[in-house]
Chains A and B, each alone.
Chain A
């Protein structure tokens, strides 16, 4: 059974640009959540989607947005990138077993 797939693995952008990250959950999982990991702030919750609806949102500015498609795949978008957005972005999916499975992440560098 394939795990959570995130693309791309690495991304380099410049300030002011926007970026879209993709996440394909484990087959059958309907919940997808996103997390940001930085050395300074640690792991922080961004948002969570279930059946195409955002159920929860973390304390991030409106530049961070996401969506989920009918096949449960999810994307997150960051507009007007800032240097502080450099981070590892992790996607996780869950089914009915209360266990979250994380993808390998997208390492975003903003120059």
Chain B
């Protein structure tokens, strides 16, 4: 059974600092998603990573995928308050839109 683990579960960081969220998964997959969720809102797609070594960047966020290590990272550069949200990674093992989600990382950025 595919399991997806994220850490940390909660991250409180100061504005301007850098940090990385980790997403480990238990079986082979080459399709990984990152989503952002604000309180009471739906999921906003951030990145879709489709191959080993894939790296994508948008603003202060950069995601990467290492399928051999079964690891994806979401790196935050010079955090700002607007990045405060919960971040989920999800794996689609069978390419059928059946996503297995991680537990989520709640990010809080303070001045």
Contacts and interface: CB of A to CB of B under 8 A. Distances in A.
A102 B43 contact: yes
Given A98-B31, A98-B50, A102-B42, A42 B98 contact: no
B36 to A, nearest CB: 11
Interface in A30-57: 31, 33, 35, 42-45, 48, 50, 55-56
A31 B97 contact: yes
Q: How large is the interface on B (under 10, 10 to 19, 20 to 34, 35 or more residues)?
A: 20 to 34
Interface string B45-63: 1001010000000000000
Chain A contact residues: helix, strand, loop or mixed: strand
A94 interface: yes
Count class of interface residues, chain A: 20 to 34
Interface in B4-41: 31, 33, 35, 41
Interface of B: 31, 33, 35, 41-45, 48, 50, 88, 90, 92, 94-104
